[in-house]
Each structure stands twice: as structure tokens, then as C-alpha cells.
Structure 1
Amino acid sequence: MAGQEPESPKQAASPSGQAAIPEEETSRWAETVMSLEVKVFGLEAEITGLSSELEDSQQVIREWASAFGSGVIADMQAYGGARDAKEVENFLFDMEQYFLAANVEDEAGKVSTAIMYRTGDAKLWWRTKYSEIQANQVRLDTWALLREAIRVQFFPENVEYNARRALRKLEHTGSMQDYVKAFSALMLDIHDMSEKDKLFTFMEGLKPWARVELQRQRVTDLGSAMTAAECLTDFASKTRRDRQTTPSPVQNKAGGAKSFRSNSNRGGGDRKPHAQSGLQGSSSRSKPQENRQGAPQRSIGCFL
């Protein structure tokens, strides 16, 4: 029609009646969407990796909490230089356990940590050794070297020989707990005894009844023999207690009825039945006995 301007291409209506979107803008939007999708995929992969790392970290924390409890490591007791085999070995053992708990892995750290726990003669000895180290006369830069030097300096002489002599003389004379404890203490100072010799020595020191019982149970090593022996002790103790609390019958001297007297306490309990039977016995002895014909029997005197 006259007076109307022709429609521009951008404003041309689409077959559906909506305005058509230019191809350039559509392409730009498609590129933007693809770029966003790539970023989303990257973020998802990064989140997955962070989640995995977080789970690993939480697992490590749980393992540490299980291993160290509250995370506080108990402080060690310093070694004062006592020349006692068990005290020296206990200090060295505690030191190695402390290294594990405190995560001390390098040798220099182990040596420095062990030096801190010295007092008395042990600290004086280390001051002398430190002077020798400074003069390059000796090397103690590893825990193995320091441990051996401590043993050489503070370990008493002939420890194993004396322990073997004491072990040969050890016998089961008291309670089973005392025997097992003494045997275990001596074995700490003996390092090269075979398992068969340990079992044989332990069995030979037992009382005969205990040895026969362990042989009947066919124990094969020292640990099982000690466990079985301690069980025998508990049974024997219970049997003794039962015997002490069970009253035993006592025959009256006058030939009367039996009275009961407890063995648990010599000074306690009611002694009236026993006392009465004693009085009856004394009264019967005071009366002259009659012979078969009914005449009283004459008492025979003593002549010097």
C-alpha cells in the first residue's frame, strides 16, 4: 500500500509469527553455552578431586586419633645412670617407643632426643662423650651407636652369667605367682636360650605335682606353661580355702558323740561343745572304773 515502508530483514516475521534471531547472535550464544559447559565440567572434576583428598585427610586424622588417643604423648622419665641391667634396658626400650609415638625418624633427631632425658651420672658421662665427639675421637651420631655406648658404660658385668646361675637355683617353693615372676625377671637378662631349654628349665623348677600336671597337659612352649601353671595356682588356693572353712569332726576322749571344730581360726568360734566334752572326759577319768565282777578297780601307784 502507498504510504507504508517495507519491513527490514531484522524485523521480518518468522513463519511461526515470532521475530527471527540473527545467525551471528545464535552462534555467539552457542559458543557461550559451550564455554560454560566446559567450565562446569572442569569444576565438577575439581570438586571430585577435592572430595577425594578430603576423604583421605579425614582417614589419616582418624588413624592418628586411634594411634595416639588425645594426641598428647606422655613424657618419659629421665635416666640417671643407675648400673642396673633392667633399668638400662627399660630406658632404651621406652626411648624407642617414644621415637615411634613422636614420629622421630632421622638419626640426628633420635640422638638429640635421647640426650635430653639424662640426669646425674648419665649426664656427666654424656658431657665427657660430647667433648670426645667435638675432638673427633668418637662417633655417636646414630641411635644404634649411642645405644651400644650406653650399654657398654652402664650395663653391669656378667649379667647373663649371674642370671643363668640364679635360674639354675630357682625352685618353686612358695606361691606359683612368685615363681613365674622370678623366672620371667631372670629371662630378661638371658638372650640366647632356645625355647626348648626355657621350657625344660621352667618345668624342672616346679614342684613334682605341678610338673606332672603340666606334662599331662602337654605344654609345648614357655608361655603356655606359665599360663597353665598360674591356673593351677588358682585351683590350689581355692582348695586350701575350702579346707580351711570346712569344720573337721573331733572325737571326744570319753568316747561320746563327735563335736566339730573349725580349722579357719584357732582362737575364734564357739568352743562350748568341745569344752563340755573335755569336762566329760576328765570326769570320767576321775571316777574309778569297775571290773567285770562289779568291784571297783584299784589304782596302781608309782614306786620309786
Structure 2
Amino acid sequence: MTDLKFGGYQGDKSVHTRGGRVLAEALAKETDGALTLAFDESIVSRGHKAADLLSMTESGELDGCYFSSSYLAKRVPELGLFDQHFAVPDRRRAYVLLDGTLGYRLREEVAKATGYEVLGYWDNGLRHITSAVSIKSLADCDGLKLRTLANEDHQRVFRALGFDPQAIDVRDLPEAVKTGRVDAQENPLTNTLNFGIHETHRHILLTRHLLGVALVLFNAERLATLDPDQRAGLQRAVDHATQAQRRFAEGDDAICSTELTAQGVEITELDADTRAAFVAAAKPEVEITRQNFSAELRDLFDKELSAA
């Protein structure tokens, strides 16, 4: 029996944590117990930053983890295809892209540029903006300090919208919100609720500006030590967990929306005119981001998106 060490950073109710548990159960079943998964559900609880998962996995301290694709876009520019604000549509069409030729090509790009292999794409949630003050228009964003991911493309877009973007590790996000270090932040509803952000940020603007992608990453050298049957069993287990995790993510949106509303949080939909203003302000920066992609993958993204 071989233990694979897999890391996460979120709490008990997280759709990622639940996905990791499904992965552990499926791996033992798919390999008849030859492989098991030792799942460290939250390295943050042991004092690490969430982003440490990446270095821990690439160095071999962990065998695998899940983590936002946006954090690897600097090393693998094509991952930024899913960082095009207001460009990627509903979940179902995004899944078609990730599970098709584009997703396969992105796996190849990651393998060439890093010490990881991508075995799956998890749903990192539709991202919205929460704030301590109500945001009703583009003008209301002006000068607000907004926590965002450590991704230059994201920061340029939010600067274009009028925000003052602040890159803060997710470990430190709840404290940054509670103390007023930031006026706003952007995250899926599940994170807003589970991290307790709604206790301070009583306003949520449903921008749906991105569908986050969480890569299921494994150390490439570690995978090379597995025999073909074990490797195939691991891939089947990840595939099974991916379908479950995506169902958790979709279901959690409705659950969290109901809970947040019950707790008195103001949830506002973008009307068509306001959305158009956000899209227009972001578009020049999105076009700059697109120049980072190879023409082949940019064209593949556009082609598969239109066909999805």
C-alpha cells in the first residue's frame, strides 16, 4: 500500500475539502487499496499560507494539491485564458472547454513549464464582489481597496474598474476584511460565507466576472514512480472526484445565497447597463491579457467557446 500526500487549505464545509474526501475514497476503491490518499485538509490551520501548497507539491513535500490556476498564470501564460474577466460564460460551457482539447493542451503547457502534472480541473466558483459599502455603479468602485489574487492580470482589470487592488493570501483575507484593511474583495459565495466575510461585508454585487478554475496538481516525479495500473486508477479517481466537486460547487451557490440573504446581507444583481459599463472598462485590459497566449491556444479557446 502506498500513501499519496494531498494538501488543501479550506475548512470542513468547503466544496474543495469535500472534493478531496471523495478523491481519497475513490482512490482506494479504484486501486483496490494499492494507493491511498493522506489528505491534509487545511495547511493553513498549521500556520502555512495557502499558496505554500504550490511549492510544497513541486518540491515533493506533498504529492498533490488543488489550487487556483491564476497563481500559475505567470509561469504558464495560457492558464490566463480563464482569467479573461467577463469573457468566460456559464459553468456548463466552461466545463466543455476544460474537458476537451483545450484542457488537454493546457495540461501539456503546465507539464512543460513546471514540475507538476494536471490531472483535473475543479470548479473554483463564480466570483463576485463583496464590500463594506454598497456598490451600485462603476463610479462606486473608485478608490476602494479591493483584495484580489496575486495575479497581475487581475490587478490591472480591477485598477481599470477604479479599485485599488491588494494582493493578500487567502489565509490573511478574513482578518484584512475584519480590520478594514480592505474595503472590498472578490470571491465565490461559498468563500464569502465560509470565511465569515459577510459578517463585515454586508453587500454583495453579483458580477460573475470570472469562473475560477482550481487545478488538481500532482508532482510529476512522484507520478513517474507509479506503475501504469496505479496511474490509471489515480486518474479515474480524480475524474470521479471532479464530477462530485463540480456538483458541490453548483449546489453551494444556491445554499449560500439563501443563507446570506437570511443573515441580512444585501445581494444585488448587475443590471444590463451597469454590466455593460463594467465590461467596457475591463475590455482593454482583457485584450492585453490575451496577448500573453499563443495564437494557437487563443484561437482554440475562441473556437471551442463558440461551439460549446
With the shorter chain as reference, the TM-score category is under 0.3
Higher relative contact order (CA 8 A, sep 6+): 2
Q: State the structure with more CA Rg.
A: 1
More strand per residue: 2
TM-score (norm 2): 0.20
TM-score (norm 1): 0.21
